Amino acid sequence: MKHHTAAIALLMAITAAGCSLESGGGKLPPGSANFPEAATAATTTTQTAAATTCDVVREAFLTGAPSEIAGALQALIADRSADATAREYAQKYLTQTDPGLKDMDKSLIQMSCA
């Protein structure tokens, strides 16, 4: 009988603990191991805020439309803290008409921004 009483008491304790978790008393804070999307979102926000004009240009070359590339290059040219070679070749890229030379300018920008 003592074993039944102990088992019932243990079952009641487990049930009570489960109820407190469901009611919100045992929720884990966002960013914990059980909420990876919250931690990822916080990291992404931090990384986005820290992106340099070089980072933006390199990403625009990879995934951007021509207008996005042009905008990113204009921002790079205006950024006096960016690499001077990258800024110079960004100017050349925007005015270049020869596709081969334009591709070379793109490579030089990417290398200067690395």
Tell me how many degrees the CA angle 113-69-94 measures, rounded to the nearest 5: 85
Name the nearest CA neighbour of 109 among 84, 78, 80: 84
User: pTM of this prediction?
Assistant: 0.57
pLDDT in tens, 5-51: 655 665 565 655 555 444 555 555 555 555 455 555 555 555 556 88
C-alpha–C-alpha distance, residues 43 and 29, integer Å: 16
Entry field: residues in the chain: 114
Exposed/middle/buried for residue 12 (C-beta within 10 Å: 0-12, 13-18, 19+): exposed
Residues 47-79: pLDDT tens digits? Answer: 556 889 999 999 999 999 999 999 999 999 999
